[in-house]
Structure 1
Amino acid sequence: MRLKGSIYAAWELRAPWGMDLPEGPFASFHLVERGRCTLRTSHGVHHLEAGELVVLFEGQAHLLLSSSQASVVPLAQLVERHPLEGGVRRVEGAGDPTRLVCGKFAAEGEQDARMLRGLPRVVHLGQRKLASLPALRTLLDALAHEATSSAPGAATATARITEALFVQVLRALLLDTEEAPPGWLAGLREPRLAEALHQLHLDPARHWSVGELATRVGMSRTRFALLFQERIGQPPMAYLMSLRLDLAAQHLRDGEESIGEIAHAAGFASQSGLNRAFHRRFGQTPSAFRKATTR
């Protein structure tokens, strides 16, 4: 996965306060460095304590509030009203203080965006969970320090820390004993499916068959196909087609190869085959996609 991590705000807020954060093409995360707050999404409410982390992998709109009764202000208005002071935006009030570090993981390509969408909507890592993840706890402490630092290279340091933070959050999800929703994460928790996914991503242009993949991981064809569908949510060849199209889109946007060369590299028998599949998936031809994304 190619992701770009960044911090977009460090906040010091005194109750009452509330912010309305819009949806976006990225995964948002919020670290409660001090105090407490409430996160509200269309799927539920989470109460966050000092030291805890929450990640919203679908980039959905959400509210952060000092309490359920607090009035809410759109994020853009808060940013306009409260300029940066020493790397922090301060919202004054008469109540208890809360300090937040807010950031995002932005996907760089089609495959990366799809993989983000395959993760749980909201991941809340509470104090008990973080106590068992010392490496993640260390990263969060470093992030809180660098986010408001004026030292040389602080912006670069926070970007690198957020990228490492993503790896640690994924590790925490893989080690979680709770059942994961269908998707690639659930597939990685099953060793035989993890090996199959590894093979597909290692050589997506190969003329794979369900039978060959099943043999590679030591399963019958029928059992493998059923398990893949159950855990990942789609048949093996449908997953492979999505992978190939994501790779083709990535090369169209970033590379200079001809469309015929891209079709061959992605595993399509012909350029016309890529054209048809690409139009079904993206609603436009590869050449139109290239023009639209390289302006």
Structure 2
Amino acid sequence: MSAILTLVANREATTLTSHDIELASTLAAGGEAIPLSPGEAVDIACGPLTPAQIDAIRFGLGDRPVDVLYGPAAGRRKKILVADMDSTTVANETLDDVAAHAERLRPGIGEEVAAVTRRSMNGEIDFQTSLRNRVALLKGLPASLLEEAWKDVKINAGAQTLVRTMNAHGAVTALVSGGFTWFTSRVGELCGFVENHANILNLSGDTLTGTVREPILGPDAKLQHLIRIALTSGAPLSSALTIGDGANDLPMLRAAGLGMAFHAKPVVRKEIVNRIEHGTLRAALFAQGYRAEEFVEA
């Protein structure tokens, strides 16, 4: 069989059952299930499936907190990882957090910034314009707000394991964000990313100027970083894994051999077939055929 269907249960909420596996295998006309992690993840060999067939399997599982992932059997283990930061590698939207901490100095700024972020991530407004507008609202505020926001940053479950496991197996790993280098440099180091790229906030002494260095790293730049890494490493785009949650991630998600939506916005869920909707970033390793005992835990 030429393809693999992978089921991954949210292990904090449930255990993968024989009924889950049998239902998915029947709907996929698949073969025997091969465990990747007992009670958590299995591979099921199958033939080619359409997005509609994959959605039918999700529908069949109902409200079970089980992710349904799919891809070719050949070339599963990827040689490149390019991941978004905000709401993907970390649970936060870091610019929103900066604005939230500014509430005591400029009441109302938190929700004003967050509202624009939501619209931008769902593709309702241009990313570059929205970023300039949001940053402009921070003009004159103390740069110490960045440090306050950093204290709130939470690395998403499985992020460090994903990065360190792929590093250990020879992949090039890059954190590429429409956020800011002030955060990506720290998150990249904590998770073990080989590279990190983001926008640069302009400061005047200890004060935010309300501007960001041009050109802005947006959707096209994320794609260009993916292409650059592929060319430099001599690996085709088909051997790349990209992960993100927002509209600005779509170009790189479309281009990679395995593009994965992580607890994503509706515009992304609508387009991307491989979606982590229930579990953690561990699912991205299972989607590549890694067994749990091969994981490099942080």
User: TM tier, shorter chain?
Assistant: under 0.3
TM, length-normalised to structure 1: 0.21
Quick check: which has more Rg, 1 or 2? 1
Q: Give the helix-richer structure, 1 or 2.
A: 1
More relative contact order, 1 or 2 (CA 8 Å, 6+ apart): 2
